[in-house]
Amino acid sequence: MKKILLVHPWIEDISAYDFWIKPLGLLAVGTVLKETGCEVALIDCVDRAGLGAPDKRFGAGKIPGVPITKPAVLAHVPRHFKRFGMDDVSFDARLHAFGRPDLVLVTCMMTYSYTGAFRAIRRVRAAYPGVPVGLGGNYVSLCLTHARKHSGADFLFPEKSWPAIAGRITRILGAAYPAGRPAPTLIDFSFYPKLRSVAVITSRGCPYRCTYCAAPRLFPVFSQDDPARVAAALAFYTERYAVRDIAFFDDAFLVGAARHCHRILEGVIKQRKRGLDLRFHLPNAVHAGAITETTAALMFEAGFKTVRIGLENSTPGFHADRSSRKLTNQAFERAVGHLTAAGFTAAELGAYVLYGLPGLTPASVLKTLKIVHAAGIRSCLATYSPVPGTPDFERAAQANPMLRQEPLLHNQHLCCHDDPASYQQIRDRANAVNHALMASL
């Protein structure tokens, strides 16, 4: 029996918050390997339940961290750097408890998080010299040349297509992995000793192709799973793992609503009527233009508790230039109206407002905040992170060519330091109005 170890590494950054995150691609690979007879274990360095970290709201919360030396390239950033997640003694103990694996698979989700993944690879190598190590995730897909040069992994998995990943693992492991098998709808979350929430993804990519977003770059073809199978998977998770909180990580959950999310939500509503007490969350933005009266009512009845709308910027022409006309300010206001009429409170709703995107002025960000607050919901300030291969990355790289060589400089927190006074003013304004709004509830 082949022994496979999965590793979701530490986050080394300025801050780290767990919005129900799970390494779904890694878990999907692990699920199929386990079903085909391999012995599979997971070390999730940032699993807050395993670390005993307290929840803040609905199973989300801060990941504990310890101060570390800042990478030299970030020496100019006036913030402390930390390693978030499991301590080294626990990590090494878990490595040794599993025994020598036949293959180790490490994931790295953000381009600017690679230092945590490289560290995991080094520790695995020190414990088990000669064991092959594979590295995948968005970092590898978006920064393949950097990963080839610096990661130290034996195999890189830049593919996002499931058959391609399955084919590669088949070749590494021999006959143990059946090539051609579809991606599993049911993820095996029993790799987690304690589980407070699960994450799901029911579609890949997004048809809007915004010039700053990773979704169209990672998944050029938009696809959605069978809604009946998704609804069955949600029922299975809640019964098997007794979790209440489920987060959808789709980039375009509401696109084609009648054929996709309505059918999932109708399935969920049936389960709620059988007594399942569920809370759903949409930490990724949803499209305001897709929020009709029917969609809002179904979302409320299904038990959504966290809904984030992607407004990004309200400047006339912004969405025509950068997002295939996905939204108008009127469509945003209509969407908020439908959601509040359905029963959602301001505490459950928020709108993402983008800061730091090349070409967007601080004045336009302040104006967008006003529009969000006038609609009666909270703003969620999202700082821009350059995504290699997107048109806005090219704009950003013209101003700072080092972005092409050093993924640590993609860190979303860095754009706050280009113009700290403006950022602080915007942040203070957003916080003040958000607090006033919450106090009025």
Q: Is 209 left (phi over 0), alpha (psi -120 to 50) or beta?
A: left
Q: Which is nearer to ligand SF4, 11 or 210 (CB)?
A: 210
Residue (of 429, 287, 422, 285) closest to 355 by Cα position: 422
Distance CA 318, CA 398 (A): 21
Q: Which is nearer to ligand SF4, 267 or 310 (CB)?
A: 310
Q: Which of 14, 29, 121, 213 binds ligand SF4 (CB under 6 A)?
A: 213
Q: Which is nearer to ligand SF4, 142 or 213 (CB)?
A: 213
Distance CA 50, CA 409 (A): 31
Q: Which is nearer to ligand SF4, 177 or 384 (CB)?
A: 384
Q: Which is nearer to ligand SF4, 9 or 289 (CB)?
A: 289
- The β-bridge partners of 62 are 17
CB 26, min distance to ligand SF4, A: 22
Q: Which of 59, 158, 310, 388 binds ligand SF4 (CB under 6 A)?
A: 310
SS3 content of the chain, % helix, strand, coil (to 5): 45, 20, 35
CB 142, min distance to ligand SF4, A: 14
Residue (of 294, 306, 287) closest to 344 by Cα position: 306
Q: Which is nearer to ligand SF4, 214 or 346 (CB)?
A: 214
Residue (of 361, 344, 340) closest to 422 by Cα position: 361
Is 160 in contact with 140 (CB distance < 8 Å)?
no
CA angle 227, 137, 75 (to 5 degrees): 135
Q: If you search the block for the tokens 């106090």, which residue do you land on?
A: 439
Q: Which of 20, 98, 128, 208 binds ligand SF4 (CB under 6 A)?
A: 208
Amino acid at 423: Y
Is 153 in contact with 146 (CB distance < 8 Å)?
no
26 binds ligand SF4 (CB under 6 A): no
- The β-bridge partners of 307 are 282, 349
How many chain residues interact with ligand SF4 (CB under 6 A)? 13
252 binds ligand SF4 (CB under 6 A): yes
- The β-bridge partners of 104 are 5, 133
Q: Which of 188, 245, 251, 392 binds ligand SF4 (CB under 6 A)?
A: 251
Residues 187-206 that bind ligand SF4 (CB under 6 A): 206
Distance CA 172, CA 287 (A): 40
Binding mask 115-154 toward ligand SF4 (x if CB under 6 A, else -) reads ----------------------------------------
CB 310, min distance to ligand SF4, A: 5
350 binds ligand SF4 (CB under 6 A): no
Q: Which is nearer to ligand SF4, 210 or 230 (CB)?
A: 210
Residue (of 189, 148, 204) closest to 34 by Cα position: 189
Residues 353-392 that bind ligand SF4 (CB under 6 A): none
Distance CA 307, CA 348 (A): 6
- The β-bridge partners of 382 are 354
CB 352, min distance to ligand SF4, A: 9
CB 214, min distance to ligand SF4, A: 7
Q: Which is nearer to ligand SF4, 116 or 310 (CB)?
A: 310
CB 213, min distance to ligand SF4, A: 3
Residue (of 377, 263, 366, 250) closest to 314 by Cα position: 366
Q: What are phi and psi of 292, to 5 degrees?
A: -95, 175
Residues 253-292 that bind ligand SF4 (CB under 6 A): 285
Q: What are phi and psi of 230, to 5 degrees?
A: -65, -45
Distance CA 187, CA 179 (A): 18
Q: Which is nearer to ligand SF4, 213 or 265 (CB)?
A: 213
Distance CA 90, CA 43 (A): 10
Q: Which is nearer to ligand SF4, 46 or 291 (CB)?
A: 291
Task: Find the part of the chain contacting ligand SF4 (CB under 6 A) among 21-29, 213-221, 329-337, 383-391.
Answer: 213-221
Q: Which of 203, 323, 368, 379 binds ligand SF4 (CB under 6 A)?
A: 323
Q: Which of 85, 116, 216, 388 binds ligand SF4 (CB under 6 A)?
A: 216
Q: Which of 43, 201, 210, 309 binds ligand SF4 (CB under 6 A)?
A: 210
Contact residues toward ligand SF4 (CB under 6 A) are: 206, 208-210, 213, 215-216, 251-252, 285, 310, 323, 326
